[in-house]
Chain A
Amino acid sequence: MRDVAVVGFAQAPAVRETHGTTNGVEMLVPVFHEVLGGLGLAKSDIDFWCSGSSDYVAGRAFSFIAAVDAIGAFPPINESHVEADAAWACYEAWVKIQTGEVDVALVYGFGKSSAGKLRRVMTMQLDPYTVAPLWPDSVSVAGLQARAGLDQGIWTEQQMAEVAVRSRADAKSNPLAQVKGDVTVDDLLTRPYLADPLRKHDCAPVTDGAAALVLAAEDRARELAERPAWITGIAHRVDSANLGGRDLTTSPSTVAAARDAGFDKVDVAELHAPFTHQELLLRNALGLNGSRINPSGGALCGNPMFSAGLIRIGEAARQISGGHADRALAHATSGPALQHNLVCLMEGRD
């Protein structure tokens, strides 16, 4: 295996609505400029480009092709795309580097969630025969999961509110976060339900955004970063598409991905949990005792579709490159109620 590290990361501000198109070009141009500029790289130094986005979010076909304008694809570039969170594009780029064909890859994701009614657009992820025709939305599906854990005493509404309070407090030091500030559990619990048992604070906001991350192999990584975040393991697993056939209170696929990635113990974890109970679920499933969780504020404070998972990898890598952690876990999710999960483990080497 080749040693591969995250050496650079940048993201657009997480905001409720941008005024740009749905192809991401306006958000991506400054993000590419920042991440390449920070590394002293030109686009010609990138051997492989890989993106994650969704045409259903964009409301148009081949939006990821239009996004390539933001790169400037002449002379022709080596490019690929996943119709999933860009964390999966990161996985593809990592595999590409493992082939030995390329040494430096830029991974990016984008989504203008505000263009449509996001919770309805996300229905398109569900079984198209027996579930999607009823149009259950993504918040309702998460509500069914939250209730299952509440009924079984696995988490409480109080604990869910505590997750929101901690996330928003941490997000105060994240200039790109969309939701931040000081709130109290008692206050949050007086607020009305959005999709009983979920209140607004239990749900990630609707966010437009984009992010880019640079991976590099071996000596190239050591040249580019003072303290690269070396990927020691990366894996993804998926649970059944049959929602009613899963135990929604746990996540076998996250546990399997963490095991495959070689998870043991980390200083910090960035979990892609767009709902408060999902953070509690993931912490339980992974046994994350004593690790700092989501110092960025997490997806609850900014959830740009199709880049929020990649941002978890970027934020966890930043903890290592900044010297705040030696070992970090990043998690990304896709599909309804944490169906598909990716775990990326990173470490600093001094």
Chain B
Amino acid sequence: MTSLSAPLNVEFDYTRSLGPVLGRFMTGLRDRRIEGVRGDDGRVHVPPVEYDPVTARKLTEWVEVAAAGTVRSWTWVSEPDDGQPLTRPFAWALIQLDGADTSILHAVDVPSSDDIHTGMRVRVRWATDPVGSIHDIACFEPGEAVETQAGQGEAVTMVTTPVRLAYTHTASAEETRYLNGLQEGRLLGQRCPACQKVYIPPRGACPTDGVPTVDEVELPDHGTVTTFCIVNVPFLGQRIAPPYVAAYVLLDGADIAFQHLILGCDASSVRMGMRVKAVWRPRAEWQQSLANIDHFEPSGEADAPFETYSQHL
């Protein structure tokens, strides 16, 4: 059996406070001016550092440097990736700007790896619409600095840095059987060979004994509310109007409860020990998901005695 897998795209736009040092650097870039900071050993750091890398003293002496410099090292990118400065093949380079003693990492726009070498002179190609970010330097290009029209405006205090990472998420073999079972309307757990506890969803290894769980156990779609809460707070994406109940449901024969919704009754009537049964969505909508169970509702049976679930709270 092949394990289920699916694309998992993780994306987040980090908004970062810049503080006085990087804020001034980014403000400079927005105004088409590059500033570094002088360290205790006299070296000028570009990009600026907040504290001296050797003495750890706070650095405050600013030095404007040129928008041109010398390539100190480079490497070639034949297949540019999402978010990089150029969409055609380019070089990454460490560039020592005139007036600086450290190098800045950025892209150099040259047609091929034959068109760049260590020691080559390059200049900044400014972005058309600077905003106060490292992307205000669109890239570097061969040549010497040229006069630019300085911009000006409010100090830059924040930068937004989007992160986009693509993964393939793979379910374990046990999770795959569980998810395939759900598509057929079945609830499949697994039993630990050491402690005999039944886990649903199955976990791959018993969290108590650390041994693989192997025996499959089919469980009924009814059980007991072990604990619950009444949701009264509205939030973004909520699909049910509050108040409603989120509860831990312990299926009969299982040793671990999972969270689900309790509907079909007044929220205030839900209680520990209440017996509930699954309400499935229409069969045509079934997927490899526990969402096939729309919610649980009271089964009408007498409440389960506390001892039957006291070890599962």
Interface residues of A (CB under 8 A from B): 19-22, 25-26, 29, 32, 43, 56, 59-60, 68-74, 114-117, 120-121, 124, 127-137, 140-141, 143-148, 151, 193, 195-198, 240, 242-245, 248
**B148-176 near A? 1/0 per residue, CB < 8 Å:** 00000000000101010111111111010
How far, in whole Å, are A131 and B166 apart by their CA atoms in the complex?
20
For B14, the chain A residues whose CB sits under 8 A away are 128
- Of the residues B45, B76, B105, B211, contact of A72 by C-beta under 8 Å: B211
B107 at the binding interface (Cβ < 8 Å): yes
CB distance from B280 to the nearest CB of A (A): 27
Assuming the contacts A129-B159, A130-B134, asked whether A19 and B170 have C-beta atoms less than 8 A apart, the reply is: yes
Q: How far is the CA of A72 from the CA of B205 in the complex (A)?
A: 8
**Shortest CB distance B98–A (Å):** 15
Flag whether B22 is at the interface (Cβ < 8 A).
yes
B283 near A: Cβ within 8 Å? no
Distance in Å from the Cβ of A56 to the closest Cβ of chain B? 7
Report yes or no: A148 in contact with B73, Cβ–Cβ below 8 A: yes
Binary CB contact string for chain B from 49 to 85 against chain A (1 if under 8 A, 0 otherwise): 1000100000000000000000011111100011111
How many residues on chain B are close to A (CB under 8 Å)? Answer: 64
**A133 and B22 alpha carbons, distance in the complex (Å):** 14
Tell me the smallest distance from the CB of B190 to a CB of chain A, in Å: 13
Q: Are B105 and A243 in contact (CB-based, < 8 A)?
A: yes
A24 → B minimal CB distance (Å): 10
Cross-chain pair count, CB within 8 angstroms: 177
Complex contact B75–A195 (CB within 8 A): yes
- Which residues on the A side are within 8 Å of B134 (C-beta)? 129-131, 133-134
Q: Which A residues are CB-close (under 8 A) to B83? A: 133-135
Is A240 in contact with B167, judged by CB distance below 8 angstroms? no
**B287 in the interface (beta carbon within 8 A):** no
Bound-state CA distance A124–B172 (Å) is: 27
- Chain A proximity of B122: nearest CB distance (Å): 14
Are B92's CB and A140's CB within 8 A?
Answer: yes
For B85, the closest partner residue in chain A by CB is A134
Please tell me if the beta carbons of B22 and A129 are within 8 angstroms of each other in the complex. Answer: yes
Collect the chain B residues with CB atoms within 8 Å of residue A121's CB: 165
B116 to chain A, nearest CB (A): 10
Cβ–Cβ contact B76 & A193, under 8 A: yes
Find chain A residues with CB under 8 A from B175 CB: 21
Chain A residues near B77: list those with CB within 8 A.
140, 195
Cβ of B223 within 8 Å of any chain A Cβ, yes or no, is no
Distance A345 CA – B84 CA, assembled complex (angstroms) = 41
Q: Distance in Å from the Cβ of A96 to the closest Cβ of chain B? A: 21
Q: Are B84 and A72 in contact (CB under 8 A)?
A: no
B53: chain A residues at CB < 8 Å are 240, 242, 245
Task: Decide if B273 is an interface residue (CB 8 Å cutoff).
Answer: no
Smallest CB gap from B49: residue in A: A242
Enumerate the 6 nearest inter-chain pairs by beta-carbon distance, A residue then B residue, closest first: A72-B210, A143-B75, A244-B103, A59-B167, A196-B76, A245-B102
Do A129 and B18 have beta carbons less than 8 Å apart?
Answer: yes
Contact yes or no, A69 B203, CB < 8 A: yes
In addition to A19-B170, A136-B84, A136-B105, 16 A-B residue pairs with Cβ atoms within 8 Å of each other are A21-B204, A59-B8, A59-B10, A69-B203, A72-B209, A73-B208, A116-B168, A117-B166, A120-B81, A124-B165, A143-B75, A144-B105, A193-B76, A195-B75, A244-B102, A245-B53
Q: Is the CB of B205 within 8 A of A128?
A: no
* Beta-carbon contact of B168 and A115 below 8 Å: yes
Q: Which residues of A contact B3 (CB under 8 A)?
A: 19-20
